Amino acid sequence: MKINSKDIKSIDNYINQFPEEIKSKLETIRSAIKKAAPKSTEVISYGMPAFKQNKVLVYFAVGKNHIGFYPTPKPIVVFSKELESYKTSKGAIQFTLDKKIPLSLISKITKFRVKEDWELLLKQKAGKKKN
């Protein structure tokens, strides 16, 4: 299903464009991310649902035969052992539509991104104090 990203105004708007089975998977991913990053804000970025704190933590989107989860490159390396059974690229993980979504893994990766985001913010604040 091809989505017109210009029509996407909210995560609800994005999710509601899909058939019920896919909607359900997207809502479970959304819920897992919210629980793992309770202080984050839902946004649409690059036409995809995303969760942001200081910077975007993670994105997710529907592909042709999968749901893509985009946590930036570092978690792909850090969680490489746990990701062996999934197709990955530099900053993306593909969860095929015919299998159960690994919510605990999504949660772990999101928590890692929250920590990474917080550490970056602290570094930036420390750098500003020196100037």
Q: How many domains does the chain have?
A: 1
Kindly give, in sequence order, each residue whose CB lies less than 8 Å from that of residue 26, ignoring residues fewer than 6 positions away: 14, 15, 18, 49, 60, 62, 67
Phi/psi of residue 125, nearest 5 degrees: -65, -40
User: 18 is in which domain, residue-wise?
Assistant: 5-130
Determine contact, residues 4/42, Cβ cutoff 8 Å. no
52-103 pLDDT, tens per residue? 999 999 999 999 999 999 999 999 999 999 999 999 999 999 999 999 999 9
| pTM across the whole model | 0.90
The single residue listed with the structure tokens 């793992």 is 36
10-19 pLDDT, tens per residue? 999 999 999 9
Kindly give, in sequence order, each residue whose CB lies less than 8 Å from that of residue 16, ignoring residues fewer than 6 positions away: 23
- Per DSSP bridges, beta strands 41-45 and 56-62 are unpaired
Residue 26: CATH number of its domain:
3.90.1150.200
